[in-house]
Structure 1
Amino acid sequence: FHDLNGAIGLSTIERWCKVTRESGSINLSKSPGRPRIIRTKAAIQKLKKRLSRRNVSARKLSRDLVISQTSFRRVLKDDLQLRAYKVQTEPLLTDEHKAVNRTDAYIRGGIRQKRKFPQKLMVWLGVCSKGVSPLVIFEKGTVDHDRYIKEVLPIALKYGNKVFGNDWVFQQDGAKPHTHGKTQDWCAENFPSFIDKDHWPPDSPDLNPLDYCIWNDFAQSMNWDKVT
């Protein structure tokens, strides 16, 4: 029973064993279960021939063959292994057209060479209603909480105090250097006010102008042909 467990019901296995003990073989005179009335072999072949003659909607075919749409879909999917699709129209382009388009794209700067392993550069920027903070550039290595505290937070604090005095709130996203305990302690001790990791509202694109606006505009304004 172990090899067939899960594939065939236990009652079926026991019945087969009984038949084998009594007759020495298993001879199923008919298929188990209720006989098919709609999805018969003749109906399947009839539908297959109709499909091969001309394109017609599934709704019209099911109505012409007097088959419910549910049974019709089962025949298409399970018996004939067919899938619905929509014909996509596209311009008929020759090889000459494609070559001209490719050349034109290259001339207009639409094709750029890309290094396989380019040098990465991380930057930090603060944004507020009065403008943007000085840009902090990390030329080497990754940014952990220690580096974030030493190189970023003092810049943010100096800029915020210069622009707003002592009446402003520092907000950052949920990156690990931002939510680290030491980072949270530094922010609590130095900023006039800040949104800590336990009170940061989830799914708040309006509170992330950098991710949803500034960085995109910044990337589009760059001259990528000069980026190596």
Structure 2
Amino acid sequence: MFAIVGVYNSQNDRIWAANYDEADAKGGIKQIQEFPQKVMVWLGICSKWISPLVIFEGGTVYHVRYIKEVLPVVLKFGNGIFGNDRMFQQDGAKPHTHKKTQDWYRDHFPGSIDKDHWPPNSPDLNLLHYCIWDKYARAINWDLVTSKKTLINQLECAVKKIPEQILFESCSSWTSRLYRLKGSHGNYLNK
């Protein structure tokens, strides 16, 4: 989720501090607009490719919208890069785990990891969470973001600035992260 006041991710952004003053000193307390204009984005990556950006300007992303707006993008560009030699993995978001979405996966991505075989909430194993979103947000020229229209423009420009080397490195580190996560007994990894 991106807003004209910056990146919004209440689930992943945390500041560990003993009190509010310490959190503020570490950059944790921010004053923002009560209801800033915002958009949700979807992005797919692999070691060789970054998908076109799918922007959701309004409303909730539920399974029907996800199937209609995101999955055709994945299918088109995934087939173009890998043909049938590919695997598609999602996280535990409701649009991803819905029965109709799972049926769509099985029909179009026979080698996909289904919802019962992927950790439902594992940012340590999601390439976008542990590497790409931060690089993407830093590529946005926030000084130019003054409205929803300029935010969308900057989101579209920033996706083109993510270096291929970052994609390759983040994908290459996945297997070692999997083993580190197993060794941590499910605790979060320190980068």
- Select 1:143's aligned residue among 33, 46, 61: 61
Q: How many angstroms does 1:202 deviate by?
A: 5.8
User: Aligned ranges for residues 54-69 of structure 1 at < 5 Å?
Assistant: none
Question: Partner residue of 2:142?
Answer: 224
Mapped contact 2:43–2:53 kept (Cα < 8 A) = yes
Q: State how 1:197-208 maps to structure 2 within 5 Å.
A: 197-201=115-119, 204-205=122-123, 207-208=125-126
Distance 1:115 1:204, change over 3 A: closer
In 2, the alpha carbon distance for the partners of 1:139 and 1:204 equals: 26
Q: What is aligned with 1:173?
A: 91
What percentage of aligned pairs have identical amino acids?
A: 70
1:167–1:192 Cα contact (<8 Å) kept: no
1:205 Cα deviation after fit: 4.5
1:19-30 aligned at under 5 Å gives the runs none
Who is 1:190 aligned against?
108
Please report the RMSD computed on the Cα atoms of aligned residues, expressed in angstroms: 2.0
Residue among 162, 187, 191 paired with 2:80: 162
Instruction: State whether residues 171 and 195 of structure 1, in contact with CA within 8 Å, keep that contact through their aligned partners in structure 2.
Output: yes
Partners of 1:201 and 1:221 in 2: how far apart?
29
The total of aligned residue pairs comes to 117
- Cα deviation for residue 201 of structure 1 reads 3.6
Larger Rg: 1
Relative to structure 1, is the Cα distance of residues 142 and 128 closer, same or farther in structure 2, using a 3 angstrom cutoff?
same
Contact 1:168 1:192 in 2 (8 A): no
* Distance across 2 between alignment mates of 1:113 and 1:164: 45
Q: Aligned residue for 1:90?
A: none
| Ranges in structure 2 where 5+ consecutive residues have no aligned partner | 1-29, 147-191
Task: Please say if residues 63 and 95 of structure 2, whose CA atoms lie closer than 8 Å, have aligned partners that are also in contact.
Answer: yes
Question: Cα offset for 1:139?
Answer: 1.1
Match of 2:36 in 1: 118
Aligned counterpart in structure 2 of residue 133 of structure 1, from 37, 51, 69 = 51
Letter in 2 for 1:217: K
- 1:207 Cα offset (Å): 3.3
Aligned-partner residue type, residue 162 of structure 1: G
Show CA shifts across 1:182-215 (max 9, x none). Answer: 0000000111411101111466555311011101
TM-score using structure 2 length: 0.57
Instruction: Provide the secondary structure at the position in 2 that maps to 1:143.
Output: coil
Change (3 A) 1:204 1:117: closer
